[in-house]
Structure 1
Amino acid sequence: MLLILLFGLVASALAVNIPQPKLTHLSTGDIQLSLDDIPGAEQLDVAYSFGESNHQGKFHQNTDSRWYHRNHEAKYNGKDKIKYRIMVALDGKTIETNGKLTPGETGVAVLPPQKVRRGTVVFRDDFNGAFDPAGWNYEVSMYGGYNWEVQAYVPDARNIFTRNGHLFIKPTLTTDHPNYNDGNLNSATMDLTALYGYCTNADRYGCIREGRNGILPPVMSGKIKSKKTIRFGKVEARCRIPRGDWIWPAIWMLPRDSVYGGWPRSGEIDMMESRGNTVARDGSGHNHGVNEVGHLHWDQMPVIIDSVRRTGDLDGDWSHAMHTYRLDWTIDHIQVFVDNRHIMNIPQSRKVFGSLEDLVDPIFGAVEPKAAPFDKQFYLILNVAIAGTNGFFPDNWTYDQQKPWFSNSPTELQDFWNARFQWLQTWHGDDVAMECDYVEMTQY
């Protein structure tokens, strides 16, 4: 009886030391719960309710040592009290605490729409301190970019982190994750909702896969999307591209709302993309590896209307240093600069973008018919993809080593993983990461 009483007292004391979470109601409508570090905590789970809505999920520890839980589907009105129960796995025991949160007590931040003056910096991240998810949305999915890239995008500190004022988006082997190893990629289950509390894209088995139906994604990587958007303006990103075979980084933009139809009818702007291979030669002998960065501009139809590529810096390798990629986007043109060198210029005109009848906004009409579909709010994306079956790594090119899969192959993931002892030789430390000093979005 005495031992039971003592255990109860210890558990109660530990429960008291669980800090009250902070509730943030984000401008996107998401709920975010966060709380200070709990020394020795191994896992935090939460169950909460408001109104007639019940939710549950996990907390995930960020590099700032705080624990975060985010719910993209809560549809919280910012007014109701939230009742919660937090369960902490600590020293082999489960400690629980209960409480209530109200907007007035927790500093709920609801950001109203704002009219932005021309020349206003809408968003800037210098990546000082720990990575701050308040300005970004994580992609959490295995959908593969709709061309069966082999990575799973996850909000893991191994894949998205900051160091010395720089952001790193770094691909890692799935077998480095504690749930997976060389022996269970063909038998385990990858349930991203169970692992991270939510999944952002269920298409193409993006949220849950079973290894018995085909190998699980052999690589984990990162993709983040700015919560802020602009409609016409300047975007800058100072970044170093990754180096390593079959690595595919990108800095690009997509529309917040697909008012002209599904991708690509509502537009896409690619500020930078590259291949991490040192050798990727086409039939004419031109190399398209790390010595080159590309700038693509997509029309509303599924064709590339412009592609301009330039060789790298003096040593022919863009992965050795930071470079500044800048987009200048107005009603009259879309231009891309690299280190202030003018690389691409596309005029905004109906001759380029097709007939007006094809591009009528079903809600507002053609607000800026001259620039449509590039007359809407766009957000910024940073990501590092791996491989893919859309031909970005063509089968008939010559590489520094043989390409381990064929485009459109149904066994791409397995073929890629089987060849890991080849391509892993080219993956060295943080060289495989896209490293960024800052990003900035300015509204015109």
Structure 2
Amino acid sequence: MTDDRRLRVALLGAGSVGSQVAALLLQHADELAARAGAELELVGIAVRDPDAPRDTDLPRALLTTDAEPLILGSDIVIELMGGIEPARAMLLQALTAGADVVTGNKALIATHGPELFEAADRVGASVHYEAAVAGAIPIVRPLRDSLAGDRVQRILAIVNGTTNYILDRMDSEGADYADVLADAQRLGYAEADPTADVEAFDAAQKAAILASLAFHTTVPLDAVHREGITAIDAQMMTAARDAGYVIKLLAVCERLDDDGAETISVRVHPALVHRDHPLASVRGANNAVFVQAEAAGDLMFYGAGAGGIQTASAVLGDVVSAARRHIAGGVGVGESTRANLPIAPFGHAVTRYQVTLEVDDRPGVLATIAGILADGGVSIATAQQTIIGGSDGADLASSRALLVIGTHTARERDLAATVERLGASDAVERVLSVLRVEGDGR
């Protein structure tokens, strides 16, 4: 360190991530000071209960239930409380006072990011949020800074470790969803109430953030189409495996040519990923972000998407960046959201599909189904039939078949209308599943 400058750092929250951040700030103070150009003094930690058990031993003198003096007296405020309020009010208070803020709060950034960025711009401060998406994986800075001069075309991302753990075990072991979910809860990968993960609320928040960064456009959370994984079963896993795919919960952010106009599509849903694709090899609770850019080409960011010590790494990287800005002077780096690209309705998305039907095993059925698909503007790429009913073909009336149809690219609204007509056809007993195919080189 070149001088004796000191920056005051306040921490809001001391849960699994916050306690690790505090411990690392104290343990590696000299190293962080050398990197930042100033001593980073942790002046206090605001908590609900100073006596609550924590993952690491923290000096009792640093703990307080009174956050306001910390916020108003600090150069950098780190928020790791989670939730919307009081986190939003506290960060606005910090920004108004001229402090830079660092947060890992994905829900807050996804819903109130523009408000925070505007408050920062008014006073020349910065909002840092690397830890809000994909834990330890550096993806916010690469999208915001490294690729700012490029044109990102598409992002395919696995950004929820709980669902990836569940789907990975269902694929590799043939296990049932309910059994794997119970194991995930026992191991701490899933909460007692897993709704935020398995219904894709968590992934949708991260998708909104990724799309806003990639396309320089504010993407409201309610513009993200969301589907969870609760309908995925062993039969769907088997059909995917037989076709050379694996099922992943994907966040998909992409540019569309929407009848000659450029729009963007942001969606989260289970998808088929070919086993040759890099995302197919993402195992367990890990995360990965696959970026396709016009000049840079294909880029893959992979690693731990959660965990106290891992996420603390991303938080401290932001703290060092904020400290360097204070030392260098000048205004903070603002968000680039001026492209204002329109967000297409989900029905405008274009991809390939795998449609699985239970049908009568009799002549003419395939022709009928092909006709329905053709009438809807959906073209068949592959079709595989497996007999699932009737013992030896003698009782044709009771014979059933499983028909798995792979399509060429189609628009979501056309496919949805076609599936509805298939479900109403006498040739189809049941529409068992419809899965989108992503990452196939479109």
The structure whose Rg is larger is 2
Q: Same fold (TM over 0.5)?
A: no
Q: Counting strand residues as a fraction of each chain, which structure ranks higher? A: 1
Between Structure 1 and Structure 2, the one with more helix by share is: 2
Please report the TM-score for the alignment, with normalisation by the length of structure 2: 0.26
Relative to the length of structure 1, the TM-score reads: 0.26
